[in-house]
Amino acid sequence: MVTPEEYDVSLRARTERVNTWCRQLGKRNVCLVSIHTNASGNGKQWMNARGWTCYTSRGQTAGDRLADCLYQAAALWLPGHKLRKDYSD
């Protein structure tokens, strides 16, 4: 499902939504991909953000395999952008 909103949905609302889908469809059948752009500022003006990050749920899951694929694609299609990674859970 693609979310119908064209405005920012709070983190709480997004997690409630995906948890509802998990209960309805089974958590193995649900994958939430929430895409945002990074922002950077110094309190007075916006800066040029050039980073990219992917977060997954705790533990080794299928989400981690998807994240690996996204990072491979980002390295190919976003040259010169920082690809931030943290493998800790």
Query: What are the helix (H) ranges across the chain?
Result: 11-25, 62-77
Q: Are 17 and 33 in contact (CB under 8 A)?
A: no
**Torsion on CA atoms 10, 13, 19, 24, rounded to nearest 10:** -140
- How many domains in the chain? 2
59 and 46 together in one domain: yes
65 and 89 together in one domain: yes
28 and 44 together in one domain: no
User: Which tens digits make up the pLDDT trace of 25-42?
Assistant: 998 898 888 777 677 888
User: Which tens digits make up the pLDDT trace of 34-75?
Assistant: 777 677 888 899 888 777 788 888 888 888 899 899 989 988
23 and 44 together in one domain: no
Q: How far apart are CA 30 and CA 65, in angstroms?
A: 14
62 and 49 together in one domain: yes
Answer whether 0.75 is exceeded by the pTM. no
